[in-house]
Structure 1
Amino acid sequence: MAQQHLIVLDLDGTLLTDEKVISDKTKATLQKAREAGHEVMIATGRPYRASKLFYHELGLDTPIVNFNGAFVHHPLDQNWKTVHKPIDLKVVQEVVESLNREQFENLIAEVMDDVYVQYHDEKLLNIFSMGDPKVTTGDLHQYLKDNPTSLLIQAKESSVPGIRQYLADTKAELIDHRRWGDPFPVIEIVRHGLNKAVGLSHVAKDLGIPRDRIIAFGDEDNDLEMIEYAGVGVAMGNGISQLKNIANEVTTTNNEDGIAEFLIDRLHI
């Protein structure tokens, strides 16, 4: 058998087409890769409840990286050592208190699969209701009692740079933050030092697969560390230029079976 590889898939803009589905060709190619002895896993910014559909659709039996590395677990193995690294509640409260009400439109905190929303917003809730979480609406100060896995600040486009600058100036040792691509301006905050590469290294070690045999696919800035960490980091054709610049390879877009095209060529499956 050819050397075993670990194939790592981001979801949005990578494994999923713009219609949020896995194409037949990509699904069939990943199945062939698994039949050939390769391991396949997901590493996403999404919570598990919003990624388990695709985990089961691919028939995976590997650990999964959720919340950009803040939560790493094995959906099928209760004994697997779960990693959950939330943000200190006190830090979140300080961030929330420091925000000028003019700067932001909403705040969303997620404690694993429980969602806390500051202001009721149907459009926002549609995005976060996937997987049917318990949703609490109201003042985060009052309702949020646990350390959250992530905090999202939905802000006006013009306010995003200022908020991020403030976070960089005052909380750099405690939290990391990123800008979401779509569907509206959102700053995502997780505990400092966490990213997909940290979660991926934990899983790769467990599977006994070295870095040089990891093939990772991504498209956004939350994939940068993972693409750099992997032996073969692959940027999607629709990916941001920053990612393409550091990737080992660039494949076709998420709507053109980019993952399948690359794996067929590289692994001869």
Structure 2
Amino acid sequence: MIEYKVLFLDIDGTLLTPDDTIEESTKAAISQVQANGLEVFLATGRPLHEIDELAKELNIRSFIGYNGAYATYQGEDIFQEPMDPMLVEHFMKIASEHHHEVVLYTNNKNVFTNKDAPVMKEFIKMFHLQKNESYSPSFNNEVLGMTLVNMKKDDVRLYEKETSIHLSQVNVDGMRHCYDVIRDKINKGYGIQMVLKRLGIPRECSIAFGDGMNDKEMLQIAGESFAMGNGHPDIFQYAKHKTTEVTDSGIYNGLKMLGLVD
């Protein structure tokens, strides 16, 4: 029988319900696996400087943030992989030409092309972003992640001409005009590989839950992987299992399937 050692949880649509709460069954399941010795990581596209309250609520101290560009284990940095500043500059030029807004994330700030634009105010409110600054090129060397805002589906091709990246639609109601920029080599799957290497944990002893296309690589890498019932239609093919929706004890039911919770 496999002895599971580590659990990776996406936040939006996996841990957090659409009304921005965490189900009691989810909290109980996390608490039980922690008591049984599993290390729990939040693995998110969000910047790590904006998830302190959520982490405290769940007693979680280990993270993969910025879609796999930065990981910490109980307060200690494991790795940090900023984006190529030339790529950032190129994408800022495309965004400007096509009237897209951009959010860039450094390890301590959210940087906005226009934080007063209505779509950006909505974005800030939805994800409870506090540490916000206005963009200047001086940030280009510090960017760990990017989200493109006010996009149409056909606009994706403008950016995917770059062979080293792909875009992932944000799987949150009201935010589907937003796309995360995911690097082919630096993503949540890469983050998991680096964490497992650092902690000396075999891949088969890891578990991951996700719902969006930015979780694809994470679900492929983990020993046991669960796509949430509310997941993006294309995500299910990358997970070993499908669990129930985030509003229907999805994390609890997946962990119960593995015999890890009562």
Normalising by the residue count of structure 1, what TM-score does the alignment of the two structures yield?
0.85
Distance 1:196 1:118 in 2: 25
User: Which of 145, 148, 169 is the matching residue for 1:150?
Assistant: 145
User: Which of 135, 160, 168 is the matching residue for 2:160?
Assistant: 168
TM-fit CA distance, 1:94: 2.1
Query: 1:220 maps to what in 2?
Result: 212
Distance verdict in 2 for CA 1:190–1:246, change over 3 Å: closer
TM-fit CA distance, 1:190: 4.5
Please tell me whether residue 117 in structure 1 is matched to residue 116 in structure 2: no
> For each residue in 1:139-196, what CA deviation from the matched residue of structure 2 results, as whole angstroms up to 9, or x when unmatched?
x44x535331122221342xx423x323222x223x4432223314123224451111
User: Which of 92, 110, 127 is the matching residue for 2:88?
Assistant: 92
Distance 1:223 1:184 in 2: 16
User: Which of 131, 136, 144 is the matching residue for 2:133?
Assistant: 136
Alignment of 1:207-246 (within 5 A): 207-246=199-238
Q: Do the aligned partners of 1:70 and 1:191 also contact (CA within 8 Å) in 2?
A: no
Partner SS for 2:14: helix
Partner SS for 1:13: coil
> For each residue in 1:40-72, what CA deviation from the matched residue of structure 2 results, as whole angstroms up to 9, or x when unmatched?
2110111112322222111124x3100110111
Distance 1:60 1:109 in 2: 25
Distance verdict in 2 for CA 1:239–1:105, change over 3 Å: same
Partner SS for 1:104: coil
Q: Do the aligned partners of 2:102 and 2:147 also contact (CA within 8 Å) in 1?
A: yes
| Identical pairs, percent | 25
Query: 1:266 maps to what in 2?
Result: 258
Q: Which runs of 5+ in 1 are unaligned?
A: none
Distance 1:268 1:178 in 2: 31
Distance 2:19 2:187 in 1: 26
Q: Do the aligned partners of 1:65 and 1:196 also contact (CA within 8 Å) in 2?
A: yes
Query: 2:53 maps to what in 1?
Result: 53
Q: How many residues align?
A: 256
Distance 2:257 2:166 in 1: 36
Distance 1:265 1:176 in 2: 33
Q: Do the aligned partners of 1:4 and 1:39 also contact (CA within 8 Å) in 2?
A: no
Q: Do the aligned partners of 1:85 and 1:191 also contact (CA within 8 Å) in 2?
A: no
Distance 1:243 1:145 in 2: 31
Please tell me whether residue 200 in structure 1 is matched to residue 157 in structure 2: no
Alignment of 1:25-104 (within 5 A): 25-61=25-61, 63-74=62-73, 76-77=74-75, 80-99=76-95, 101=97, 103-104=98-99
Distance 1:70 1:153 in 2: 17
Distance 2:243 2:129 in 1: 31
Distance 1:111 1:14 in 2: 24
> RMSD of the alignment, in Å?
2.4
Partner SS for 1:21: coil
Q: Which runs of 5+ in 2 are unaligned?
A: none
Distance 1:52 1:83 in 2: 19
User: Which of 153, 171, 174 is the matching residue for 1:181?
Assistant: 171
